[in-house]
Structure 1
């Protein structure tokens, strides 16, 4: 209780009052220091922590499914994943390791190439079977996409141009094709969820859906002929001094 109003509550929103806005920077700084102290206490009690930063779709589709196996082999190492839309500064000491999507020339620190990018149309097994049985229009060649819904990642960054349906369609000789409808999503993992739910055709980033393709949860209707490359790749970067810590090296390996 501090004797003033910190939040102004409206019918549909809550916003900071003038006093709340004044208090906010101090509260953020205190909580940040508290978080750092908690991590120091955990380390002093024998708990090692690896702080990883990456983007949301990579965390959801690639990283998180693999954490179970890592934790099985290293149960004493805690993992802290920060899925951010911005690029975190590895010099700030908050993060030990970054998993990034970039072209080789964009990286300012030494980086290890994890894998290169490749995209391809994908659908769910139900969707594929429906195009064969007649419940949905056929999907045998790129021109057939005019009768289907296409999911698109709505991202203004330069790298997104290589993930776009328009670029893929142009490469397939269909630069003017318009689908039945467009479905726009902020993140790649949302595109994949829509495709898994049978809502349309996604242009998937193959490294991120490798397991789904292997298990049959997703299908490439045009096979390998539908795959296109990109100058962007997936990289791992270690923060200054992080490579000397055994828990970080174990995670990186």
Structure 2
């Protein structure tokens, strides 16, 4: 019997809801959006997740449970309440230049929360895995473009195609090039000297893996397990 009370996917989903509530509640989101609907839907997710903690269903059954289906429906409701697909672009249009980087950080946290919760069923279908890394999405991506970090000579800013969208990743591996096939852990966003990174490249010995295998946007394969060490520790930190 699977111990659902300790399932990392459920624990990270609950923390992601809490992150969404804090961020959306405090962010300077100017424009037309239904804040009350967003907050209500988010708060209603918590008892749904907590009910699953004590269900003791196998992960594959959890993925198909009414509670998980309801979580996904609430994510659709929140997306609509934020303004629909492309909601983040509308908010960025209305903010003053000096506030834009702070708003980008908030938007990245909201995106992380919504994406992590909406894809929890896919990670549950990986089965009985007792490892923090299954709490978040890890995808194969392709580096589309690279730019200098505006405030740090030893960092670069990468625009990465992760299948259904682009993600910004800040890295100190200056050897990363356009066209590299990379593994991206989509972690809670971190801001590095004014630039928000939406994830972290898989790597070993401070060197990014640049030729990972797999389908674009899907879980990569064929990489050393050591490459997950940093991701594992960051997920555990998020859960504290």
Structure-2-length-normalised TM-score: 0.24
Which structure carries more helix by proportion?
Answer: 2
Structure with higher RCO (Cα < 8 A, 6+ apart): 1
Which structure carries more strand by proportion?
Answer: 1
Tell me which structure has the larger Cα radius of gyration. Answer: 1
